[in-house]
Amino acid sequence: MRSTIHTLNFGRKMEDIRNILKKHRLRITEGRIGILQYFLDEKKALSHRDLEFRFNELDRVTLYRTLQSFTEKGVLHKIPSDTGNVTYGVCFDTCSPQVHQHEHIHFECMSCGKTECIDLDVPELEVPGYRVTEKNFLLKGICSDCSEN
């Protein structure tokens, strides 16, 4: 079983971000480039509200549509929360425009609120009488940054 925190190649060059958008068949715009770069730089899950603070020049609808497009095309995935607030994380390399799969574990820090994707094998579950089509795992605790303080 793998138990390392998933790391992406953060701090990518502009051309790399353009290639990600092309690969996922998304129109390349300044807004999309900026939003994707922000996700990659932050290295954590972000909400619509986080984006509103960072990109105050973009209206709410544009941000919402960008998140929807990124989710539909396999660039981002939604992360469940028991608060009802939706956050988004960057997809692993296994997602594509045709196949969007992101069955991994999420960790939410109860101290700072940061949510991260963790690359752990998700166990197969059989629920008698049900057909499982999606699995979402959210673990809560104290992240390594907060436990050092």
CATH number at residue 67: 1.10.10.10
| Distance (Å) of CA 113 to CA 47, 63, 83, 144 | 12, 22, 12, 12
Quote the tokens at residue 83.
């608060």
Residue 98, both tokens: 């045709």
User: How many independent structural domains does the chain possess?
Assistant: 1
Q: Which residue range forms the structural domain that includes residue 118?
A: 3-148
Q: Is the pLDDT of residue 33 over 70?
A: yes
The tens digit of pLDDT for each residue in 95-148 reads 666 666 667 788 889 998 888 888 777 777 889 999 887 777 888 999 988 988
Banded model confidence at residue 36, pLDDT cuts 50, 70, 90: very high
C-alpha span between 140 and 123 (Å, rounded) = 18
Binned at pLDDT 50, 70 and 90, residue 62 comes out as: very high
Average pLDDT on 67-95 reads 83
pTM for this entry = 0.76
Q: Output the pLDDT for position 63.
A: 94
Residue found by looking up tokens 């539909």 in the block:
72
CA angle 144, 148, 149 (to 5 degrees): 125
Distance of CA 146 to the CA centre of its chain: 21
